[in-house]
Chain A
């Protein structure tokens, strides 16, 4: 199986976030650099949900310290983290 590239992962994460946390919002407004944690879109419960989704969807296992704002604050950062793990 070919590992998904970073853009595919970013798309998947964006779909998940729009579906789970931002129903009815304009998808164009959620970009790869939109702050998630610092803007209150991802809180502890949301982060755990996203982590579970990532594990189920791509089989990437995150460490606890990777829930940090440094990795989780934007879709771009999350996609980069997962992409690096899948390489």
Chain B
């Protein structure tokens, strides 16, 4: 295995990684809590998800358990982004409208 394999395969992996590191830096959880959560999500995986899919799942659970965001606002924001993606022509930057 070469030393130069890419650190992240897709941009969203890097973004999910950075969110966890930044939230820890801001004191939103301890690193031991993060490792425990990630270990729990990995152990429970039945679908052979990729490492960063599990990482993202653990981040969502952590945000929920620590009540950082409400699940209703997360769902609302997610559908706002889905709408924005659907209405934006290819090549144009995807931006949220006024409806958030």
Do A and B interact with each other, yes or no? no
Give the A-binding residues of B (Cβ under 8 A).
none
